[in-house]
Amino acid sequence: MCGITGFTGKGTALPVLMQGLEKLEYRGYDSAGVTLADDKGLRTFKAKGRLSELRKIVENRELPQHTGIGHTRWATHGVPNNLNAHPHTNSTNTISLVHNGIIENYVSLKQMLENNGYVFQSETDSEAVVHLIDYYYRRFQDMETAFKRAVRDLEGSYGLCVISTYAPDTVFVARKESPMILGIGEEGTYCASDAPALLEYTRKLMTLNDGDIAVLKPDHIALFDAKGNEKKEEWMEFPYDLQLALKVGSDTFMEKEIHE
Ligand code: GLU
C-alpha cells in the first residue's frame, strides 16, 4: 500500500499530483507515475525508482491539463519496472487507473477478460481493473456506471482512482481496506491516500468510508455507498499543521502505518 493522488479543477493538475506524491514519499515506493486527461486524450508518464526520475521526465513538457491521477507503487504483483508501474491504461488509451492494495480475484477477472479479447501488458493484479472498467464501459456507454459496476466485481483491498477521456473533468474514486481522503478547495477537488498530500491546498477534508465510491468534479464531490445510493458528504476542517499531520497520534511513521 503506497501513495495515490488525484485532482480535477481550475488549476493545473501536474504540480498538485507531484507535490502530493512527494508528501507521501515517507511510505516508501519503487516506481511512480501520473496520467493527465483532457478532451484531446490521456498522457501517461512513469519512472522506476525515485520520484525525482519522474520529475525529470515531466518537468520540461507543456502539460496544462486540469485533471490527473498520480501513484507511487510498492510492488505486490510483478517486479518493479516501467511496465508494472502505475497508472495502467486500457488498449485504446481512453481510461487510466491507479491502485493501492491487492485484487484477490484478479486471476479469474483476467481469465474472463482474456476470453473477451483483452490483452494484458503488465504482471500486476491492478491492470485487470482498468480492462474491467473498459469492458463495462462498452456495455453501458457511461463511465460512472461502468466504474461502479466494475468495483462490485472486486475482491481484496483497494484504493482506486480512475480518469477517462469519456469524462475528462472527473476523477472516479473507490476504496476498501485501503485509506483514501477527499478534499475540496477554491481550485478544485482532491483525493489522496493520506492527508499530508492535500494540506498544502485545502483543509476541508473527509475520509472516504470503507466500501464507498466518490465522483470528483471540479466544484463538487458526489458520494455513493457500495449499493450505489447517494450519501451526504461530511466535511471537516483539518486542524493540524503539516508536520503534525505526517505522524498524527504516532511517534514514528512506521507506527502510523501499523495503526492504519
Ligand atoms: N498490487 C498492485 C501492484 O503490485 C499495487 C501495489 C501498491 O499498492 O502500490 O502493482
DSSP track, 100-136: EEEETTHHHHHHHHHHTT----SS-STHHHHHHHHHH
2 CA to middle of ligand 1, Å? 8
- The values of phi and psi at residue 231, to 5°, are -125, 160
The three grid cell numbers given for residue 164, joined into one nine-digit string = 477517462
> Tens digits of per-residue pLDDT, 35-90?
999 988 999 999 999 999 999 999 999 999 999 999 999 999 999 999 999 999 99
Exposed (0-12), middle (13-18) or buried (19+): which is 193, by Cβ within 10 Å? buried
* Alpha helices by DSSP H, 29-126: 51-58, 106-115
Domain ranges of the chain: 3-259
Q: Is 44 in the pocket of ligand 1 (CB under 6 A)?
A: no
> Tens digits of per-residue pLDDT, 80-104?
999 999 999 999 999 999 999 999 9
Question: For residue 126, what pLDDT band results from cuts at 50, 70 and 90?
Answer: very high
Q: Is 124 in the pocket of ligand 1 (CB under 6 A)?
A: yes
Round to the nearest angstrom and report the end-to-end CA distance of the chain: 10
Q: Which CATH number fits domain 3-259: 3.60.20.10, 3.90.550.60, 1.10.3720.10, 3.40.50.20?
A: 3.60.20.10
pTM of the model: 0.93
The three grid cell numbers given for residue 62, joined into one nine-digit string = 507543456
Which ligand 1 atom sits closest to the C-alpha of 159? 8
Q: Is the pLDDT of residue 257 over 90?
A: no
83 CA to middle of ligand 1, Å? 13
